Amino acid sequence: MATILPLPRPRAFALAEKGRRLEPKERIIVDIIVDGFTISDEVVVIEDLSEKLILGASTMQKWRIKLDLEMEEVIIDPRAVRLKLV
């Protein structure tokens, strides 16, 4: 599915449980299709998460993804995914 690469430097993520942290050591590049749009990003590999993939705030900001919680919809700005050649 993907080539697993080592992280160039250590990372740690604090969890809600006091004093507990996740320290991933690997990463992959993924293409994700959302509502017909393909977005790509680097993600860290963490074993035994409650979900298969968790998109972080940085990915959502980079691709201008917004959530409509009331309607339970994912909104992607089409201008953010338009391929531009200069």
58 class by beta-carbon count within 10 Å (0-12 exposed, 13-18 middle, 19+ buried): exposed
Give the pLDDT confidence of 74-84 residue by residue, as tens digits: 888 888 877 65
**pLDDT digits over 11-48, tens only?**
898 888 888 888 999 999 988 888 888 888 898 988 88
Mean pLDDT taken over the chain:
86
Q: Where are the domains of the chain?
A: 5-81
pLDDT the model gives residue 86:
44
Summarised one tens digit per residue, pLDDT across range 1-12 is: 678 999 999 889
